[in-house]
């Protein structure tokens, strides 16, 4: 892990096979490993070749002392690491999903990302209807935080094919993923493509109507009371109520209006 950023949890990234090593006092599950065949339907070219295992994901990680508190707050902390390399001309990425509506809140919950290692792009769009609504691609690196608002479809991209990319995220404990409409549209509204010089350009998915893409750098998420430069798990330790807007989006209802990631 990038020695310049410590995420507040003693967790190490295992490269081969991809996964995680939990330090003293940390609980976490064996990771699930998503394969290239699992995401082919969302690619620009479904026949593209790339790493067999695209990413490893561990949902419900934390310090043992917080296990009961996390359940009480209906919060879950997840960790994901993405393979290096490319998938054809595209970067290694997830297929994209929408969060299912949580029974306890009645909302499709938001998700708060924190990049731990490497370079990432968090892509998001308002809907998966023919008109995708506003579309954003947020560039982020170690220590940056990106907030995906309730109900938005999104995916995560490893923007540097030379290295792994890892992030942690606050999620609703009653999480669920919906893929059907994204799969039927062969992905989200924009495909990331590597240029010959290693930069990323964006190609529109013709299954959606045309919408402009806003492509920019991550900015501090101060509107929701977050402290720039302090790991989001550490912020939870200091104030367990700070991330209640993830499991109960209603409390920040006004902030979601006209929200710009």
Q: Average pLDDT in the 235-254 region? A: 95
pLDDT of amino acid 28: 98
Fold of 18-256: Jelly Rolls (2.60.120)
The DSSP secondary structure of 114-147, one letter per residue, reads EEEESEEEEEEES-SSSS--SEEEEEEETT-EEE
Q: Average pLDDT in the 40-44 region? A: 95
- Name residues whose C-beta falls within 8 Å of residue 105's C-beta, 6 or more positions apart in sequence: 74, 172, 174, 247, 248, 249, 250
Mean pLDDT of the chain: 95
**Minimal CA–CA distance to 66: which of 56, 76, 57, 58?**
76
- Least confident range of 62-66, 121-125, 174-178: 174-178
Q: Is the pLDDT reported for residue 222 higher than 90?
A: no
CA distance 256 to 150: 8
Report if pTM > 0.75: yes
- Least confident range of 85-99, 136-150, 245-259: 245-259
CA angle 220, 98, 120 (to 5 degrees): 40
List the domain boundaries for the chain: 18-256
Q: Average pLDDT in the 215-220 region? A: 94
- Least confident range of 44-53, 109-118, 215-224: 215-224
69: part of which helix (H) or strand (E)? Answer: helix 67-72
pLDDT of amino acid 221: 86
**Residue where the block lists tokens 């039927």:** 184
**Minimal CA–CA distance to 209: which of 157, 134, 138, 99?**
134
């Amino acid at each position: 892990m990038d020695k310049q950023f410590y995420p507040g949890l003693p967790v190490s990234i295992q490269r081969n096979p991809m996964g995680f090593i939990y330090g003293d006092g940390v609980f976490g599950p064996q990771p699930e490993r998503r394969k290239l065949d699992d995401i082919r339907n969302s690619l620009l070219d479904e026949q593209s070749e790339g790493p067999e295992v695209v990413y490893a994901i561990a949902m419900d990680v934390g310090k043992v002392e917080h296990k009961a508190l996390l359940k009480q707050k209906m919060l879950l902390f997840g960790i994901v690491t993405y393979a290096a390399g490319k998938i054809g001309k595209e970067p290694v990425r997830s297929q994209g999903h929408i969060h299912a509506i949580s029974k306890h809140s009645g909302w499709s919950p938001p998700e708060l990302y924190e990049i731990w290692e490497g370079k990432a792009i968090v892509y998001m769009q308002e809907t998966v209807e023919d008109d995708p609504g506003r579309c954003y691609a947020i560039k982020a690196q170690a220590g940056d935080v990106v907030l995906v608002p309730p109900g938005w479809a999104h995916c995560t991209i490893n923007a540097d094919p030379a290295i792994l990319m890892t992030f942690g995220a606050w999620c609703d404990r009653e999480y669920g993923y919906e893929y059907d409409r994204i799969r039927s549209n062969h992905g989200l509204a924009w495909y990331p493509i590597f240029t010959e010089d290693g930069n990323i350009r964006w190609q529109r998915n013709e299954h959606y109507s045309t919408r402009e893409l806003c492509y920019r750098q991550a900015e501090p998420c101060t509107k929701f009371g977050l402290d720039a430069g302090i790991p989001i798990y550490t912020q939870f330790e200091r104030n367990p109520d700070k991330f209640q807007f993830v499991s109960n989006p209603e409390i920040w209802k006004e902030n979601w209006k006209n929200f710009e990631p």
